Amino acid sequence: MRRILFDSLMRRPLTEAAPVKDDEMLAELGASVERAARRRLGRSLSIREVDAGSCNGCELEIHALNNAFYDLERFGLHFVASPRHADVLLVTGPVTRNMREALERTYNATPDPKWVVAVGDCAVDGGIFSGSYAVVGGVSGVVPVDLHIRGCPPQPTQLLKGLLTLLEPT
């Protein structure tokens, strides 16, 4: 263990520079997030992840944000275990009928001000699952969405871009 720790001390960090923010996402966010609310939160956001019926591909990439290369916490972003502690709901999946009520209740349990980020193509409009008897199709059909991050699944850098846009719009 000492050798691994020592090597880590001597080596340059693996963590990569922050990605450049995305204009398209900035435009979508512009209307929905007020400056005042953002000031109140400072530079820190607590994120609650909600799997509303995804294939777990999005979760894998969201999980990757915590690894040494992306190191999400350096931006003041961290995941929490309850919507009561959250500022942001990160919702994945086409919203299956089974998860609809759970998503609504999670949204209602999250204190204001709050934002909803829909992650992945399924979360936009049901994606490949749209039209299925088992899905509602798209997060915005159930709760208001402030930002969409597309991709199947979106890569960690795309997720990071979206979340940073939320944090520092300028």
Which residues form the interface with another protein (CB under 8 A)? 1, 3-5, 14, 51, 53-61, 63-64, 66-69, 96, 98, 128-129, 134, 152-153, 155
Angle between helix axes 156-167 and 23-30 (nearest 10 degrees) is: 40
The distance of closest approach from Cβ of residue 156 to another protein in the complex, given in angstroms and rounded to an integer, is: 9
Burial class (CB in 10 A: 0-12, 13-18, 19+), 135: buried
Nearer to another protein by C-beta: 8 or 44?
A: 8
How many of the other CB atoms lie within 10 Å of CB of 168?
12
User: Burial code of 93-117, b = ≥16 C-beta within 10 A, e = fewer?
Assistant: bbbbeebbeebeebbeebeeebbbb
Give Cα 154 distance to the centre of its chain.
10
Nearer to another protein by C-beta: 57 or 169?
A: 57
**Beta strands 45-51 and 147-149, pairing class:** unpaired
Q: Yes or no: say if 97 and 132 are a contact pair by the CB < 8 Å rule.
A: no
Q: Yes or no: say if 45 and 79 are a contact pair by the CB < 8 Å rule.
A: no
The distance of closest approach from Cβ of residue 81 to another protein in the complex, given in angstroms and rounded to an integer, is: 12
Nearer to another protein by C-beta: 33 or 126?
A: 126
Nearer to another protein by C-beta: 11 or 39?
A: 11
The distance of closest approach from Cβ of residue 141 to another protein in the complex, given in angstroms and rounded to an integer, is: 19
The distance of closest approach from Cβ of residue 158 to another protein in the complex, given in angstroms and rounded to an integer, is: 11
DSSP for 42-55 reads TT-EEEEEEESS--
The distance of closest approach from Cβ of residue 52 to another protein in the complex, given in angstroms and rounded to an integer, is: 11
Nearer to another protein by C-beta: 67 or 82?
A: 67
